Amino acid sequence: MASDSKRICLCPLEGIINTIAKKWAILIITIIGNHEAIRFSDIMGALDGISPKTLTDLLKDLRREGLIHRNPFSEIPPRVEYSLTRDGRQLCEAVVPLVRWAEKRDNLHQKRCDATTCQSASRPSKRTGRQRKRRIEGR
């Protein structure tokens, strides 16, 4: 049994755990953390399988928790970029050891992803969602 000195109080997690434990939350934080600022469509492009509604809801939750900024621009068409707050950057830094652990554990990761091809680590493109989909599908 672990000694009392190695135990950690989980009480501080009570408020934030409901948000960061959601399926896509940590991935979204990490993707935003890989960029100074990133647009909604670029986050969508980096996450395979997330619906626009789910992403919208999670971005609202992360904003409510003070982890991300939503930066709207007064342009036509409207443009919004997301960036991390100080707390968001600290969370992103805290997640790095988890990502490194997962890299070591997942041998397949090396075969399917590297820093040059990984969509979550790459700079956002200037392409539209439709253009990006065509490029990915090879059309």
Q: What is the pLDDT of residues 28-46, one digit of tens each?
A: 999 999 999 999 999 999 9
In 3D, which of 90, 118, 89, 84 has the Cα closest to residue 103? Answer: 118
Q: How far apart are CA 82 and CA 105, in angstroms?
A: 31
The pLDDT of 78-85, averaged and rounded, is 96
- Are the CB atoms for 88 and 32 separated by under 8 Å? yes
φ, ψ for residue 50, nearest 5 deg = -85, 140
CATH number of 15-124: 1.10.10.10
- What digits encode the pLDDT tens for the residues 86-114? 999 999 999 999 888 888 887 655 555 65
pLDDT at 52: 96
Domain map (residue ranges) of the chain? 15-124
C-alpha torsion sign, points 43, 45, 47, 52: positive
Judged against a pLDDT cut of 80, whether residue 76 lies above it is answered with: yes
- What digits encode the pLDDT tens for the residues 123-134? 554 444 444 443
The two three-digit tokens of residue 3, written as one number: 């000694």
The two three-digit tokens of residue 123, written as one number: 């700079």
pLDDT at 136: 41
Judged against a pLDDT cut of 60, whether residue 6 lies above it is answered with: yes
Q: How far apart are CA 72 and CA 131, in angstroms?
A: 23
Q: Bridge partners of 39?
A: 81
In 3D, which of 127, 128, 123 has the Cα closest to residue 37? Answer: 123
Quickly list DSSP for 67-132. Answer: SEEEEEE--SS-EEEEEE-HHHHHHHHHHHHHHHHHHHH-HHHHHH--TTT-TTTSPPPSS-HHHH
28's enclosing H/E stretch is: helix 25-33
Judged against a pLDDT cut of 70, whether residue 118 lies above it is answered with: no
